[in-house]
Structure 1
Amino acid sequence: MATVEKVQKIKADARKRSKQRVDTRNELASHAIMALSELGYARTGLRDIATLSGRSVGALTYYFDGKIDLIAYCVRLYKEQFVRQIDVAMAGHNSSAEVIEAVTGAFAWAIEHDAHKHRLWYDIRSQSLFEEAFRPVVREIEDNLIAMVVRFLSRLGRPDDNGQTTYFLLDGLFRVHLQAALEGDTRAPENLKAAMCAVLDSRE
């Protein structure tokens, strides 16, 4: 085999191994999210996650540098998915009213169907006040969420320099109505939509 072909094969094999590693980490993270979203950070250990995923603790520590690394990866993964959901909701709509309806609907869907996952985000964000290791991923996620809100404002034709402030307002509403949903309030998604629309109207 020619040297160039050998190099290409080595590169191809390396890409394959890298993809397999990412796929395995994502699979483990999906099981970990299930455990963490139910029990919370403090009450979930690597053994709980290993049991739920059908893997050994050794397998988890092979792919992740301990519990904090695994949790940070999990939170980053599902928050990236959430941002994509909001971006998809924004796409394909022309009028501001349609964009607002789609985006507030996506937020409402999130607390109706993924409340426990989002609860984990607020858990980890609070933990970052005490656990320095969580701070980089929390900053990264919040930067991505603020950027998402800036894109939202841009679609509405509004100044994007209000992105951070608008994010804090929407995030506060989301957290309050998420709490209500977790406490069994079936009207929480609908109430969230109404509250978000009121805030957006007041800032027009």
Structure 2
Amino acid sequence: MATVEKARKIKADARKRSKQRVEARNELASHAIVALSELGYARTGLRDIASLSGRSVGALTYYFDDKIDLISYCVRVYKEQFVRQIDAAMNGQGSNTEVMEAVTSAFAWAIENDAHKHRLWYDIRSQALFEEALRPAVQEIEDNLTAMVLRFLARLGRPNENGQAMYFLLDGLFRVHLQAALEGDTYAPENLKAAMYEVLAPSP
């Protein structure tokens, strides 16, 4: 009996340590992504990230293998949050009109309020053409975004459409209007909504 209890305690302690590690990584990532989104991938090293995020290099290297591991984790966490925001916008909506308005508004909000963080995603995606180590994270994120678009199409009553093709269309629109927002175009969020409505309009 004592052996069973000891085994349970070991498992419980291991779960606690694992949870604490995840929480620590998430906290570091939340600080690091602010620095990364301002400077971009190529212009930052671990020392820059540590300095700008108010953490030591030792703290970063304790929880992350290297710069690529840290950046991959940061972008994964952030884009997962974005996917949850879009899913939340869809939930609780009734008609197709309500779903469209909620989702396009969520996309518009993203480029109005989180443009620099989304810019980091496009930076990392481009860097993955050269950095093989970044490719698994990029592929995972793109798979999640495509799945999100498929859920969106299903809510609009269009479950048989090519989700990947629609993802590419929406991603292109998002990137173009994100760039406009970064350059100071205050109409970019509303222009993105209008463009999404045009692309997603049902065929006559």
Show structure 1 runs of 4+ deviating over 3 A. Answer: none
1:21 is aligned to 21
Distance in 2 between residues matched to 1:136 and 1:203, nearest whole Å:
36
Which consecutive residues of structure 2, in runs of 5 or more, have no partner in the other structure? none
What TM-score does the superposition give when structure 2 sets the normalisation length? Answer: 0.97
Residues 178 and 195 of structure 1: CA distance in aligned 2, closer, same or farther (over 3 Å): same
- Give the secondary structure class of the aligned counterpart of 1:55: coil
Residues 185 and 73 of structure 1: CA distance in aligned 2, closer, same or farther (over 3 Å): same
Distance in 2 between residues matched to 1:53 and 1:168, nearest whole Å:
33
Q: CA deviation at 1:202?
A: 5.2
Cα deviation, 1:138-184, whole Å, max 9, x if unaligned, reads 11100000000000000011034410111111000000000000000
Q: Does residue 198 of structure 2 align to residue 198 of structure 1?
A: yes
Distance in 1 between residues matched to 2:172 and 2:56, nearest whole Å:
39
Aligned residue identity for 1:91: N
1:142 is aligned to 142
1:82 is aligned to 82
Cα deviation, 1:66-92, whole Å, max 9, x if unaligned, reads 000000000000000000000000000
Distance in 1 between residues matched to 2:160 and 2:40, nearest whole Å:
35
1:103 is aligned to 103
Which consecutive residues of structure 1, in runs of 5 or more, have no partner in the other structure? none
Q: CA deviation at 1:57?
A: 1.1
Residues 203 and 178 of structure 1: CA distance in aligned 2, closer, same or farther (over 3 Å): farther
1:48 is aligned to 48
Q: Does residue 35 of structure 2 align to residue 66 of structure 1?
A: no
Distance in 2 between residues matched to 1:161 and 1:182, nearest whole Å:
32
RMSD: 1.2
- Give the secondary structure class of the aligned counterpart of 1:42: coil
Aligned residue identity for 1:25: R
Percent of aligned pairs sharing the same letter: 82
Instruction: Return 154-163 or 187-196, whichever deviates more.
Output: 154-163
Distance in 2 between residues matched to 1:7 and 1:54, nearest whole Å:
39
1:125 is aligned to 125
Cα deviation, 1:37-74, whole Å, max 9, x if unaligned, reads 00000111101111233332122111111000000000
2:171 is aligned to 171
